Amino acid sequence: MKKLVVVALASMSAMGIVQAQSDVTLYGVLDGGITVSKLKGDDTKVQMSNGNLYGNRWGLKGTEELGGGNYVGFVLEQGFKMSSGAEHKTGKAFSRQTTLKVGGQWGEIGLGRFGGLGSDLGSYSMLGGTPLMTGYSILGDMYGSFYLTDRYDNSIVYVSPNFGGWKLQMMYSNGVTGDDSKWSKNGHYYGVGVAYDSGALKTNLIYEVLDNKNKKQIDGSNYKATQLLNLGMSYDFGTIKIYGAYELAIHSSLPGVDWKKYEAGTDVIPPILQSTGKGANFNAFSLGASAPLWGGTLMGQTQYAFGKVKDKMNPNISGEDKFNTFSIGAAYVYPISKRTGLYSYGGWSTAGKAAKLVNDLRGWTGIFGMYHRF
């Protein structure tokens, strides 16, 4: 009997040691609500909406200390639709992020699938400069006037140590469209960014390139590389926080376009979006503010973009090559506990000249919802 007790105590002790050394966390977010919206030329819709404030997800993350300040860690994160349980992206077990990382006093290197530096997606995004960012709806958030990068497979990123508030990041991906072709035929992503954080003041400067080599294989057109320069800032005065953001986009797709419905073949691509390789050049601006109110946070932002479509075919079809977009959005978030909160949102967007052909940019939306973190 004594031997059994000793063995049991030894086993429990060993388990305690393992648990103490292991740092693995299960986490997630559930976010759903009711959305009322109307796009130009479409009927008013009342729908259950998913992931308005936070994308619905569950994940595993953990680290192991290697000694000397070095560590190994991982992130596995899957997205889903709360209303149906469907996958966030078909065919991917962890569609939002899969990352193996190693770091220390010299910085951090990450490998896997994650968002670009200016994407507002995942662990390595540096994007800032607005209170609403890319939440709630295209009709009122950054997507309405800015062209932002996406998540990419086969990526590698380096994050420098913090130097007096300054941080440098560099990222490369050979997986914009997969890596099953030779290097010269794959789409590639390149990004470099620097950020400063003093507590009250936060700034970021990000330069990204998508070489679009993969698109040439689709229709034979000589696609130009997309170049994006993003600048963001915010300053917290205590009673109010102000934000500002700017983007220069060269040979880019138009902002605010829901490409999923065109890729699915459910809608005909408007002529303004039918690129022959040169895309559009434009400037985008955003101003915003947030402030505590009645135990919650009130946020608002507005954005404007103007530019010119460079593809020769589009002016001939639409009769116009210049375009502009304008949108405004406001939200109120009220936490009812440390992990649960309620939110409401209203957004309105319009577009001028050539962009009038893109109904995604013209309409209004209202949302009421709830989130819960675990």
Model confidence pLDDT, tens digit, residues 274-303: 666 788 999 999 999 999 999 999 999 999
> For the residues 205-209, what does the mean pLDDT come to?
98
Q: Greater confidence, 45 or 356?
A: 45
Distance CA 310, CA 274 (A): 11
Confidence of residue 273 (pLDDT cuts 50, 70, 90): low
Q: Three-state DSSP class for 75?
A: strand
pLDDT tens-place string over residues 68-125? 999 999 999 999 999 888 888 777 889 999 999 999 999 999 999 999 999 999 999 9
- Residue 363: pLDDT over 50: yes
Q: Is the pLDDT of residue 264 over 80?
A: no
Is the per-residue pLDDT at 240 higher than 80?
yes
Share of the chain above pLDDT 70, in %: 84
pLDDT for position 17: 41
What φ, ψ does residue 372 adopt, rounded to 5°? -145, 125
- Residue range 34-63: mean pLDDT, rounded: 95
For residue 219, pLDDT beyond 80: no
Determine contact, residues 233/201, Cβ cutoff 8 Å: yes
pLDDT band at 13 (very low <50, low <70, confident <90, very high): very low
97: enclosing H helix or E strand: strand 97-104
Nearest 5°: phi and psi at 140? 135, -15
Q: Is the pLDDT of residue 345 over 50?
A: yes
> What does the pLDDT read at residue 217?
59
CA distance 105 to 66: 12
Provide the pLDDT confidence category of residue 66 given band limits of 50, 70 and 90: very high
Residue 346 has pLDDT above 70, yes or no: yes
The pLDDT score that the predictor gives to residue 357 is: 73
Average pLDDT, the chain: 88
Cβ neighbors of 207 (< 8 A, separation 6 or more) are 191, 192, 193, 227, 228, 229, 230
pLDDT for res 270: 67
Q: Which residues of 238-261 are buried (b: 16+ CB within 10 A; e: fewer)?
A: eeebebbbbbbbbbbebbbbeeee
Residue type for 7, please? V
pTM, 2 dp: 0.89
Q: How far apart are CA 325 and CA 256, in angstroms?
A: 9
Contact criterion met (CB below 8 Å) for 329 and 347 = yes
Question: How confident is the model over 119-174, as pLDDT tens digits?
Answer: 999 999 999 999 999 999 999 999 999 999 999 999 999 999 999 999 999 999 99
What would the pLDDT profile of 302-327 be if each residue is shown by its tens digit?
999 999 988 755 554 556 789 999 99
**CB of 36 within 8 A of CB of 365?**
yes
Task: Give the confidence band of 260 by pLDDT, cuts at 50, 70, 90.
Answer: low
- CATH 3.40.50.150 assigned to 36-53+103-373: no
What is the rounded radius of gyration, in angstroms, for the C-alpha atoms of the chain?
Answer: 23
